[in-house]
Amino acid sequence: MSVRRLAAEFIQPKDFAFTAENTDWAKGQIAKYPPGRQASAVIPLLWKAQEQAGGWTPRRAIEEVAAMLDMPFIRVMEIATFYTMFNLAPVGRYHVQLCGTVPCHVCGALDLKKVCEERIGPQSTVSADGKFSWIEVECLGACCNAPMVQIGYDYYEDLTPENFGKLLDDLAAGRPVKTGSRTGRTCSEPQGGGTTLTEASLFDGSQIGAWKKRFAEEAAKPAVDAPAAPAPAPAASSGPAVPGAGGSVHVPQPPAPKDLPVAPAGSPIANAVPADEPGADHAPGESSGEHAESEAVARREEAEIAEKLKALPKDATALDKANAVGAKPKGLEAAREGTADNLQRIKGVGKVNEARLHDLGIFHFDQIAHWSRAEIRWVGTYLSFPGRIDRENWVGQAKILAAGGDVGKKPGESHPDRH
Ligand code: FES
């Protein structure tokens, strides 16, 4: 590394002021930081000053930046003299930053340095034709492709004295040059090409095609054979939607074990098996047949809702979306007689969803029990899980609970909200 000092006084311009355009730009940068933290914009402002001054940072520019940021001159000076990205003296049209740190050094940076000295001249001087200058810098973060140089904003890697010399020739002659590796490797892959993940099928789409086919086959099965576990709604899904299936079909879940005790259909107690218990294949409050029907309804609703939401602008709010697909249920100002039902007794409703339902004026089981289809769509979409209310049979559970029945979730027992 060389000593970094400001250029001699006779080289320094007498004045420096940002152009009107750059002043506006600088103000925009400063505004990104809270009051009292304007100093955080020092590097972008110095960079812009260097760009305006023709590739180097004169003393007057450092003073201008210090004044704009209300910083002592020495603080800005420390920064300008520390980072080699700031050139303290005029540079050539092509300013070569040659990495001399260990990985580049052991891969031949010294030979490149000789090329610079022979072709351009001593470090930190401009060639006679004004086209080139060079400095040695610390690691530029492309060690995998060492040795390397940065010229202007571009990196040139895997250099040898020969190809580096040709690069300088091309630049001097104004011929187009290729950036990146001189040996043709992609990014930082090993010399000679990749040695892992080489199987062509990983990249030709055939493996994904096989999965797509499996998903499509599963999705085409009759609803009664549909997977038992509730699938998340598209908007809130963390699992992959099946490509090419309209975004409404989800990764099939394994079917529930078949050897569970079978309870009489319609019995609230029998039907009260929480759907998240091992082996449960339907939501509380519904039989297996009803569950299949709910699943089919949920899927249809998801597809229809997704289609309608597509027409909305990207920044549509949850309310915009809900209003586009359904009707808001009538809420209450407050719970009747000051006491809300414990909505968390509905499987699928935990603390968070209960609070969100309260915000909508829903405090009682009988309110949910009377939701129309349009209202189910509205609430499901507003809470970002269209289809889930049907899958978990909130309405059926609410009917049982409103009638004093039980769905198997103890009063006060919390159920984690899922989205
Ligand atoms: S050591 Fe040269 S780029 Fe890192």
* Gap between the Cα atoms of 66 and 224, Å rounded: 73
* Gap between the Cα atoms of 415 and 347, Å rounded: 7
Cβ–ligand 1 contact at 229 (below 6 Å): no
Global confidence as pTM: 0.50
Cβ–ligand 1 contact at 61 (below 6 Å): no
Tell me the CA–centroid distance for residue 166 and ligand 1, in Å.
Answer: 21
Cβ–ligand 1 contact at 407 (below 6 Å): no
208 Cβ contact list (under 8 Å, min separation 6): 243
CB-CB contact of 123 with 137 (8 Å) = no
Q: According to CATH, what is the number of the domain 94-181?
A: 3.40.30.10
Cβ–ligand 1 contact at 101 (below 6 Å): yes
Ligand 1 atom closest to the CA of 104, numbered from 1: 2
Supply the pLDDT for residue 219.
81
Domain spans of the chain, in order of start: 20-82, 94-181, 288-402
Ligand 1 atom closest to the CA of 103, numbered from 1: 1
* Gap between the Cα atoms of 138 and 2, Å rounded: 11
Fold of 20-82: Arc Repressor Mutant, subunit A (1.10.10)
Using the structure block, give the residue that is written with the tokens 């043709």.
Answer: 184
* Gap between the Cα atoms of 340 and 356, Å rounded: 13
* Gap between the Cα atoms of 300 and 99, Å rounded: 61
Residue 8 has which token pair? 């001699």
* Gap between the Cα atoms of 248 and 232, Å rounded: 10
Supply the pLDDT for residue 240.
39
Tell me the CA–centroid distance for residue 27 and ligand 1, in Å.
Answer: 35
Torsion of CA 78, 79, 81, 86, to 10 degrees: -160
The residue to mutate among 101, 113, 164, having the most atoms of ligand 1 within 8 angstroms of its beta carbon, is 101
DSSP state of 140: -
**Which is nearest to 80 in space by CA: 53, 101, 54, 49?**
49
Ligand 1 atom closest to the CA of 140, numbered from 1: 3
CB-CB contact of 61 with 16 (8 Å) = yes
* Gap between the Cα atoms of 136 and 306, Å rounded: 57
pLDDT one digit per residue (tens) for the chain, 419 residues = 567 899 999 999 999 999 999 999 999 999 999 999 999 999 999 999 999 999 999 999 999 999 999 999 999 999 999 999 999 999 999 999 999 999 999 999 999 999 999 999 999 999 999 999 999 999 999 999 999 999 999 999 999 999 999 999 999 999 999 999 999 888 888 888 888 888 877 777 777 777 777 787 888 877 654 444 454 444 434 333 333 333 333 444 444 334 333 333 443 333 333 333 333 445 666 666 677 777 777 788 888 888 888 888 878 888 888 999 999 999 999 999 999 999 999 988 888 888 889 999 999 999 999 999 899 989 989 988 888 888 888 998 899 999 988 888 665 554 445 44
Ligand 1 atom closest to the CA of 109, numbered from 1: 2
* Gap between the Cα atoms of 348 and 70, Å rounded: 57
Ligand 1 atom closest to the CA of 99, numbered from 1: 2
Tell me the CA–centroid distance for residue 317 and ligand 1, in Å.
Answer: 48
